Chains A and B, each alone.
Chain A
């Protein structure tokens, strides 16, 4: 029986603005956007014309302008005032000469430009000094650290500097003590130059005229002389218009914002036209903001990757791919990825379906316990599994192999099972990704109308036949969805293949991408090529999965209380429970215990029980290290931020989707879904390539890029929980609150909020936990200050020591289990994933 969804009612009433005002406002904003784009482009053009190497030059220049002003007023005016007129004249001609010498290298053009500057200047003296200060800072004689040290000894700076000036005027003047070493052996212009340089340097206690980092930054940008000239002119020319300043120093960001603003206005106009009303609803603003976020951080990087790999030289070509796959290593990586993903999908689904049926529809013992257990695995870092199985199935010293050899009486010291193989990879991938299928299928099973199966029973079909003829076919869409999910997770996995595949030289697309990334610029392009392939695969699968599930929507929500018909297992009850228990032991207990034991070992090769091999030092070691604590802090901060922002966005989106009829509300929803389906490596790579400032956003190497990456990948988890919770609250609950006189806000706070709070909390955790232990994206996006716990663990395992890594891993595991338990308690065991 179909249940028709009742259309949600727009609950939020905002006051409308008049049509004219709205249209005017939109027009103004559009013009503003266009203006921003234009000025940004102008800024870029100016930059290109300036000959500067980097755009930071602009901000350096504006900063220097301030410094120079300061410097002159504070340190030069007083000294000059104490000179006589004649002295000042003489000084003027001396510095004139020095100035021209400095600028000689620039040729006649330089001299002409300086002359023009000085002519226009209000205070030529001042300008000259500022020019000199700057040029001496950029390319004057070197002030060695020894000289700097002796300068530091000078107590009376002002008189010292006066003396230096007098030395400039009179060759025979006695040189002050502190300066003698620097002036040793210098004559003529060289001497004058050094005297002047010392004059500039000794102005502040830091013994530098203008901040060294500013100078260094500017030096990077003004290598050639014409650029330097432009820099000088700009610096000493006085204040630049404030607006210009902003545009010049941030031209790309201004363009980006201009584009977004214009796009928003156009979209808004389109929406308004569609609604046939000119009332601006602030819900649209929210949609637009979320769309903007997605456009910049998700769509743009994706398109960039596509363009870069499909149009390497400006025209559409598959050269990149042909070249990449001409290498046998890449080709085998591709094969491996596809083989592993396919078999993992098959194996995972074959495991998940009966488990879901047993746990959800029969009278198996300890059903609830098993269900929680299998769902728990979903929330454990996959690389943990890889580490554990490595220890268990290592061909030489793996525990299981040792036992098997003993049981089967095999001679020798290797085998029979080898984890460093495709088979091993498939095994570990399956053991960590089958929960995805399990959860999808469980959810569908629980929602199925039990009377459909009862009808089959009463028609004469045994329980088994009912499963085969009714349950299974009706589950097919969910089965396919679950299977595809496993496929794409296995294909996008990085942690497991890198830990297991590496020693046996088994490459997958993801490991190749990360390897390429480490190879420099050309490597990045190659990484892009491989990433695009993975991305296209993911999109295709997402589309297919969506198509299949939506077209054959068999899930019926029954009106009566859904107590699924429990199938009696009778004589099979105990054997099946034992089987499932055994499965749980092998899949979950064994790996976790292995990690635990390994963490107490001194020598990885021996067992924990051997004499002298037990120690707690590994544990104390890692927790005493400062880096561990720093990584932990980073992970916590990133994960908390991601989760909090993410859940707020989820709540907003959920409300928009289910309680309003706003056009276009499905767009951000679609983009969020797309984000979660994109392989982590691809997301990270896309961000790296576009977030270095080329497109106006520069968050590379910062904490923000990590948070953005996590958000894109994990936002969906929060969305799903909140959306599902809200869908179960009938809109009449809110309507009755409104009718009782409560405002929208009060309704949210007193009615909706408390009802969906457990799901909000659940959603928060579901975003928090994977963000906390994330590895793949971190591997590409980390910087020295933004290492996370997952990455740290990976490094320990690969480079430092397995026992220590195990200790860390178990620590992470404990945190995750604890959080899961908390989540379970909070939502009274009902959170749905």
Chain B
């Protein structure tokens, strides 16, 4: 269980800056996820930790040892780190046993001990009976578990995972999520996990670092960043959200596009603001409710467990995730009243579009 200390690391490829002043610490036994859209720099950061890239500026410490900087550099093979690659990188010319035994065979550990350790990790990933097989005889999921076993066999303090589940089908992905999390908890190993799938990140992480265009937007527990996002990008990246522009008045926000309807607000922001409302946090009712937004039912999409609804309020459409029973009760054209349970308010700098633009 190693600690990772990232000290103001910047990485640029020529003119292109992919990481800006990354400055964080990952603790013992933490499951940390680097989350963000494609090209945001998360994989680059992971590779810097692994030692496959050099930081342009800044320093990297693993367990208080300086491993990357302008002056010092410890090569990957000396960092005692385990890594699982997106393509698994399982060697086709070796069988499962040899693949997993490889890190130990480098260290010249006696054969008996190697067999013992390999057995141990293979049982962790439930692949004992496949140890003689070759990779081309295994499914994708099995290959991935071989990669995981290999990364764990030398009992590293730090485990790096580069989008390991993105090539698996949905069901397998879900089950593997829990398996990985289980393993991490049992072994109490520090994990740095890279993904663009926010559901994955939320399910597995102790802390999430949301990155956009090389800059960490927010870091925190899943609950923190979901419920208290610091900007529109974070709010939008996690879960579903809608933005409405409005102006503050005494104790409320007036929404121009909703024919001037208002919602009560007593927070600190003033002037032009943007309200971020999550569709599942809106209550919908047929009866008139004080402080609610009045609108007309437009569309309903029955999803089995919920009713995904569109309500026309003024000139804008509000999306609501309602209870399933509302599907039969609320018809198109009905007048409905929407009450957000809670919502976020951000400054409207007019830069929403820019922030949300995915950097490829």
Contact = CB atoms under 8 A, between A and B. Distances in A.
Contact of A554 (B90, B92, B102): B92
Nearest to A553: B92
Contact of A474 (B76, B93, B150, B154): B93
Interface in B133-159: 136, 140, 143, 147, 150-151, 154
Nearest to B136: A2
Determine which residue in A461, A474, A565 has the highest number of CB atoms from chain B within 10 A of its CB, and name it.
A461
A454 B89 contact: yes
A556 B92 contact: yes
Nearest to A556: B92
A461 B106 contact: yes
B135 to A, nearest CB: 9
Nearest to A461: B106
Contacts of A295: none
B178 interface: no
Interface in A470-484: 470, 473-474, 476
Nearest to B150: A459
Contact of A465 (B82, B106, B147, B167): B106
A700 to B, nearest CB: 51
A457 B87 contact: no
A473 B98 CA distance: 14
B122 interface: no
Interface in A554-572: 554, 556, 558-560, 565, 568
A452 interface: yes
Interface in A27-59: none
Contacts of A465: 106
B82 A554 contact: no
A476 B93 CA distance: 10
A455 B91 CA distance: 9
B302 to A, nearest CB: 33
B93 A473 contact: yes
Contact of B86 (A469, A560, A565, A568): A560
Contact of B76 (A1, A457, A473): A457
Nearest to B83: A458
A456 to B, nearest CB: 7
B171 interface: no
Contact of B77 (A449, A457, A470): A457
Given A2-B136, A454-B52, A461-B106, A474 B89 contact: no
B77 A461 contact: yes
Interface in A451-503: 451-452, 454-463, 465, 469-470, 473-474, 476
B102 A456 contact: yes
B77 A462 contact: yes
Contacts of A460: 77-78, 80, 103, 106-107, 154
B85 interface: yes
A1 B102 contact: no
A476 B92 CA distance: 12
Interface in A414-464: 449, 451-452, 454-463
B75 A558 contact: no
A568 B136 CA distance: 31
Given A449-B87, A454-B85, A558-B87, A459 B103 contact: yes
Contacts of B79: 458
A568 B74 CA distance: 12
B81 interface: yes
A749 to B, nearest CB: 31
B87 A451 contact: yes
Nearest to A565: B52
A464 to B, nearest CB: 10
Contacts of B76: 454, 457-458
B92 A560 contact: no
Contacts of A459: 77, 102-103, 106, 150, 154
A1 B87 contact: yes
Interface in A769-803: none
A505 B262 CA distance: 105
Contacts of A1: 87-88, 140, 143, 167
Contacts of A461: 77, 102, 106
Interface in B263-307: none
Given A458-B50, A465-B106, A452 B167 contact: no
A559 B85 CA distance: 12
B89 A455 contact: yes
A333 B89 CA distance: 49
Nearest to A473: B93
A460 B151 CA distance: 11
B106 A458 contact: no
A558 B106 CA distance: 26
Contacts of A552: 93
A559 B83 CA distance: 18
Contact of B92 (A451, A455, A474, A565): A474
Interface in B1-56: 50-52
A472 to B, nearest CB: 10
Interface in A54-90: none
Contacts of A556: 92
B75 A457 contact: yes
Given A554-B92, A556-B92, A560-B86, A458 B136 contact: no
A702 to B, nearest CB: 52
Nearest to B103: A459
A554 B90 CA distance: 12
Given A460-B103, A565-B52, A455 B85 contact: yes
Nearest to A477: B93
A456 B52 CA distance: 12
Contacts of B140: 1
B110 to A, nearest CB: 16
B74 to A, nearest CB: 12
Contacts of A456: 91, 102
Contacts of A457: 51-52, 75-77
Interface string A103-137: 00000000000000000000000000000000000
A11 B50 CA distance: 47
Interface string A1-18: 110000000000000000
A451 B102 CA distance: 15
- Of A469, A558, A568, most buried by chain B (CB within 10 Å of CB) is A469
Contacts of B143: 1
Of A449, A455, A474, A565, chain B has the most CB atoms within 10 Å of the CB of: A455
Contacts of B167: 1
Nearest to A476: B93
B144 to A, nearest CB: 10
Interface string A529-558: 000000000000000000000001010101
A364 B114 CA distance: 37
A568 B54 CA distance: 12
Contacts of B81: 458
Contacts of A560: 86-87
Q: Which of A459, A469, A473, A552 has the most CB of B within 10 A?
A: A459
A458 B92 contact: no
Contacts of B107: 460
A452 B89 contact: yes
A456 B83 CA distance: 10
Given A458-B83, A460-B106, A470 B154 contact: no
Nearest first, the 8 closest Cβ-Cβ pairs linking A and B are A459-B103, A455-B89, A451-B89, A457-B76, A451-B85, A460-B106, A458-B83, A1-B87
Given A1-B143, A449-B89, A459-B102, 15 more contacts: A1-B167, A2-B136, A449-B87, A454-B85, A455-B91, A456-B102, A458-B51, A459-B103, A460-B103, A461-B77, A461-B102, A463-B75, A474-B91, A474-B93, A476-B93
Interface of A: 1-2, 449, 451-452, 454-463, 465, 469-470, 473-474, 476, 552, 554, 556, 558-560, 565, 568
8 contacts: A451-B89, A454-B89, A455-B83, A455-B147, A457-B75, A459-B150, A476-B93, A560-B86
Interface of B: 50-52, 75-83, 85-93, 102-103, 106-107, 136, 140, 143, 147, 150-151, 154, 160, 167
